[in-house]
Structure 1
Amino acid sequence: MLVALPKTIRSAGQLALIQLLVDERKRAGLTQADLALRLRCHQSLVARIESGERRIDVVELVILSRAIGVLPEDLTKRVAVEVSDDERL
């Protein structure tokens, strides 16, 4: 019997990551447009990430973190506590 795996786009860990990115962007005094300029992308991409419409991979997390001015490992440590031990891909 096949068991459907949960989507991680709305998982507790993913939501925690999004909230951390938004909080850190704001703490850095950046608007979505400011961050987009640093990333050399459209503001709509930042909006899609922050709204949870688009997942980010590890490399993108590093790029986003650097653009915001935080260490990616600090973010991952903070997100790790939100991911349960029985979470599946």
Structure 2
Amino acid sequence: MAKAFGSARHKALIEFLVQRRKRARMTQAQLAARLGEYQSFVARLESGERRVDVVEFLELSEILDFDPVQAIRDLRKMS
């Protein structure tokens, strides 16, 4: 199994989350506040320095209004 950091799937996940945040017209600081975190937390997620765990992914899906199951399906299709 390939490492998740720097993989095509990891990059696609980051791009997806950034797009969803921007579509919601939220800054990193606003998203962080909704998550109960600091802005640097979101910055590390979006830069790829930190992985998103499943609980955070579910919270992000609620805040950014996306279907987490479909997002995972789309990521799984990537080779």
- Give 4+ residue runs of structure 1 displaced > 3 Å after superposition: none
1:11-47 deviations in Å (ceiling 9; x for gaps): 1111100100000110111111110111111010000
Task: Tell me the residue number matched to 1:21.
Answer: 17
Q: Is the counterpart of residue 78 in structure 1 residue 70 in structure 2?
A: no
Q: Is the counterpart of residue 45 in structure 1 residue 45 in structure 2?
A: no
Q: CA deviation at 1:7?
A: 2.1
**Which has the bigger relative contact order, CA under 8 A and spacing at least 6?**
1
Letter in 2 for 1:15: K
Q: Is the counterpart of residue 64 in structure 1 residue 25 in structure 2?
A: no
Point out the structure with max Rg over C-alpha. 1
Aligned length: 79
Alpha-carbon RMSD: 1.3
Letter in 1 for 2:6: R
Letter in 2 for 1:21: L
User: Where does structure 2 lack aligned partners over 5 or more consecutive residues?
Assistant: none
User: Where does structure 1 lack aligned partners over 5 or more consecutive residues?
Assistant: 85-89
Give the match's secondary structure for 2:5. Answer: helix
Structure with greater helix percent: 2
TM-score (norm 2): 0.89
Q: 2: distance between equivalents of 1:6 and 1:73?
A: 22
Give identity over the alignment, percent.
Answer: 48
Give the match's secondary structure for 1:29. Answer: coil
